Amino acid sequence: MHMKIIDGHTHINSSRFIPAEFIQGVAHNMLADSLQKFDRAKINALSTIIHSQMKDHYGDQLVTDMDSANVSKSVLLVPDFSYVFNSADSIDSLAKAHYEICRRHENRFIVFIGVDPRHGSQAILSFKRGIFDYGFKGLKLYPPCGYSSSDPSLYPFYELCAEHNIPVLLHTGPTSPQLTFRYADPFDVDDAARLFPSVNFILAHGGIVNVDAAVQQCQFRPNVYLDISGFSSMSGAEGWVGHLTHLFSRGINHKIIFGTDWPLSSMTETYTSQLTKFVAQDGVMKNCLDLEKEKIMYKNISKLVGETAN
């Protein structure tokens, strides 16, 4: 069957949107094996190379890749790093740039806009502008910046989400090493999910890291979902194919959202190659019913954001 696909987790591959300091952390981990001791110059040199290759400022390349992989729409995630990284642009400027990308590629992108609750009332204004003026469809949180997804400072945002039927996607699991991993556990969302039962929460990477905790949330909290973004970088004996085949047998396929984490997943495999392997007849979903496949590939995210897959 021809499968409709929405990629539930991507970013624009642009040095304007992904801060240099974030990439420095990624570079540091890549070099960890070869560095004798902490070497700022080497880390900076590698991160400069990576950053200089992030040139898809208008999403044109991403749309070309989506076309070649039969992906009709992608969710663009725009984390707010401006509270923790000096090199990060303000969320208002990122929001405007992503709105323009949506206009340039009409009907191809769904934006989840970031906030850092420590920006206070300014963050509320920015979030409202994103939702009401720009037509963004979700809230993106990055708790490793230093706040819990259940922190009361986020309740005003969740109230807005409840009122306007807006889902919340939050990063879980490890990330760039300058950030804290303390608030990256799937259980951290528990209070928020219990107190705001009409708001849907998506545990980003929940199918890939801290999987048992994420699956448990999905099984017992009706409003918690997970995505499998970052799957192509999975190591381990069974690789991502073995891992996901197992994940899809755990009875939560109505909660699982397909996503690649492009361009971060570009380090291991091209976009088209990830997609081709994924939807192959004898691939990771071979034991799923057709309806389950549809849910994973587009229906679950479609339902949460109120958008069809074209």
Interface ranges with Zn ion (CB under 5 A): 261
| DSSP bridge partners of 53 | none
Min dist CB 42 to Zn ion, Å, is 26
Question: Distance (Å, rounded) from C-alpha 31 to C-alpha 36?
Answer: 10
- Closer residue to Zn ion, CB minimum distance, 18 or 297: 18
Shortest Å, Cβ 18 to Zn ion = 10
Alpha carbons 286 and 265: distance in angstroms, whole number: 23
Nearer to Zn ion, 150 or 266 (CB): 266
Give the residue with the Cβ less far from Zn ion, 117 or 259: 259
Q: Is 123 exposed, middle or buried (0-12, 13-18, 19+ CB in 10 A)?
A: buried
Q: Considering the complex, what minimum distance in angstroms separates the CB of residue 244 from Zn ion?
A: 17
Rank residues 77 and 288 by Cβ distance to Zn ion and give the closer one: 77
Minimum CB–partner distance for residue 41 and Zn ion (Å): 28
The alpha carbon dihedral of 171, 277, 291, 289 has a sign of negative
Residue with smaller CB distance to Zn ion, 190 or 261: 261
φ, ψ at 153 (rounded to 5°):
-65, -15
Using alpha carbons only, give the angle 63, 65, 69 rounded to the nearest 5 degrees: 115
Query: What CA–CA distance (Å, rounded) separates 297 from 287?
Result: 15
User: In the bound complex, what is the minimum distance in angstroms from residue 302's beta carbon to Zn ion?
Assistant: 20
Nearest residue by C-beta to Zn ion?
261
Amino acid occupying residue 115: V
Considering the complex, what minimum distance in angstroms separates the CB of residue 288 from Zn ion? 24
Nearer to Zn ion by Cβ, of 178 and 287: the residue is 178
Per the DSSP assignment, residues forming a β-bridge with 262 are 10
Minimum gap (Å) between residue 230 Cβ and Zn ion: 7
CB nearer to Zn ion: pick between 208 and 252:
208
Instruction: Report, in Å, the least distance between residue 53 CB and Zn ion.
Output: 17
| Burial class of residue 248 in the structure, from the number of CB atoms within 10 Å of its CB (0-12 exposed, 13-18 middle, 19+ buried) | buried
Q: Write the Ramachandran bin of 262: left for phi over 0, alpha for psi from -120 to 50, otherwise beta.
A: beta
Q: Which is nearer to Zn ion, 209 or 288 (CB)?
A: 209
Helical spans, DSSP H, in 79-233? 91-104, 121-128, 155-164, 190-195, 211-220
Identify whether the C-beta of residue 210 lies closer than 8 Å to the C-beta of residue 245. Answer: no
For the record, the structure tokens of 115 come out as 């906030």
